[in-house]
């Protein structure tokens, strides 16, 4: 799953992003509210985590702008303020949850998981294709009931393909989803990861699920 973190404090942003990436989430970081708004309106995210006090555009203003644009992505606000009024104001303009600094990473992670579960129905918490299954809550991948261990990047690519099963996904789309907002689209790193995924997902099975469509991209289908 892809998360946008909008945080102007570098140390806090690094702490949160590294922790979430270790939990197999892909994280894009925006350094202020204005950049966060630009990224949130040009990319698809499963969750937005935003500090409240930021230059150019506050977290509250960011939330308000996104809701005006009918962007329903869940938003978790982070703030040093702990008053009931501040929390009510944030929730009233469209935020989904509020976390007061300082906080433990375990609490942040629990709130992230809760928001993602709330967004997805029970049916959507698992992605299925033939005998391949991804559990989006536990991040467990199995094929024919055999567990497959993936790296965070491999998991992110497979999840994106599974969410778009039977649709051709270009290399550029995969790069935009899996890597940094400003990642070089000319690299062949996606091809390398697709080959690694094939070795883990298809190599020991008679039916291949991941296919290359020459000149267009990749598709996962049964």
Rounded alpha-carbon distances, angstroms, from residue 215 to 168, 170, 172, 194: 11, 9, 12, 15
Q: What is the mean pLDDT of residues 13-26?
A: 91
110 and 12 in a common domain: yes
**Cβ within 8 Å of residue 5, ≥6 positions away:** 13, 16, 17, 20, 27, 28, 29, 30, 49, 50
Is residue 92 scored above 70 in pLDDT?
Answer: yes
Higher-confidence residue of 62 and 117: namely 62
Domain boundary, last residue among 65, 97, 119: 119
pTM of the predicted model, to two decimals?
0.62
CATH number, domain containing residue 178 = 1.10.10.10
* Whole-number pLDDT of residue 180: 59
Band (pLDDT 50/70/90 cuts) for residue 101 is: confident
When comparing pLDDT for 49 and 156, which is higher?
49
End-of-domain residue from the set 54, 87, 119:
119
Burial of 117 (0-12, 13-18, 19+ CB in 10 A): middle
Per-residue model confidence (pLDDT) at position 123: 46
SS3 of residue 219 by DSSP: strand
Residue 126: both structure tokens together: 């698992």
User: Confidence class of residue 120 from pLDDT cuts 50, 70 and 90?
Assistant: low
For residue 135, what pLDDT is reported?
Answer: 86
pLDDT of residue 122: 44
Q: What is the pLDDT of residues 163-215, one digit of tens each?
A: 889 999 988 888 877 765 555 656 788 889 999 999 999 998 999 999 999 88
For the segment 50-90, what is each residue's pLDDT rounded down to a tens digit? 999 998 899 999 999 999 998 889 999 998 876 677 778 78
Q: How confident is the model at residue 124 (pLDDT cuts 50, 70, 90)?
A: low
Who wins on pLDDT, 114 or 89? 114
Question: In total, how many domains does the chain have?
Answer: 2
Q: What is the pLDDT of residue 172?
A: 82
CATH number at 21 reads 3.40.50.2300
Q: Report which secondary-structure segment, H or E, holds 160.
A: helix 152-163
Distance between CA atoms of residues 61 and 156, nearest Å: 30
- The whole-angstrom separation of Cα 68 and Cα 62 is 10
> Computed over its alpha carbons, how large is the radius of gyration of the chain?
18
Query: Which of 78, 104, 119 is the endpoint of a domain?
Result: 119
Residue 213's domain comprises 123-220
Residue in 156, 127, 154 with CA at minimum distance from that of residue 143: 127
Residues 110 and 163 both lie in one domain: no
Do 140 and 213 lie in a common domain? yes
Confidence band for 18, pLDDT divided at 50, 70 and 90: very high
């Amino acid at each position: 799953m892809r998360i946008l973190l909008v945080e102007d404090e570098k140390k806090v942003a690094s702490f949160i992003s590294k922790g979430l990436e270790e939990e197999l989430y892909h994280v894009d970081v925006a350094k202020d509210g204005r950049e966060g708004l630009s990224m949130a309106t040009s990319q698809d995210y499963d969750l937005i985590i935003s500090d409240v006090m930021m230059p150019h555009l506050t977290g509250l203003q960011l939330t308000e702008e996104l809701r005006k644009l009918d962007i329903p992505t869940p938003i978790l606000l982070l703030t040093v303020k702990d008053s009931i009024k501040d929390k009510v104001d944030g929730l009233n303009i469209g935020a989904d949850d509020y976390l007061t600094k300082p906080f433990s990473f375990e609490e942040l992670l629990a709130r992230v998981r809760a928001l993602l579960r709330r967004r997805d129905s029970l049916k959507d918490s698992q992605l299925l294709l033939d005998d391949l299954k991804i559990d989006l809550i536990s991040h467990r991948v199995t094929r024919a009931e055999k567990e497959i261990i993936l790296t965070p990047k491999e998991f992110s690519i497979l999840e994106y393909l599974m969410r778009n099963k039977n649709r051709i996904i270009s290399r550029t789309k995969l790069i935009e989803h899996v890597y940094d907002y400003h990642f070089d689209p000319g690299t062949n790193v996606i091809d390398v990861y697709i080959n690694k995924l094939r070795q883990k997902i298809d190599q020991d099975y008679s039916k291949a699920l991941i296919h290359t469509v020459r000149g267009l991209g990749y598709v996962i289908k049964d």
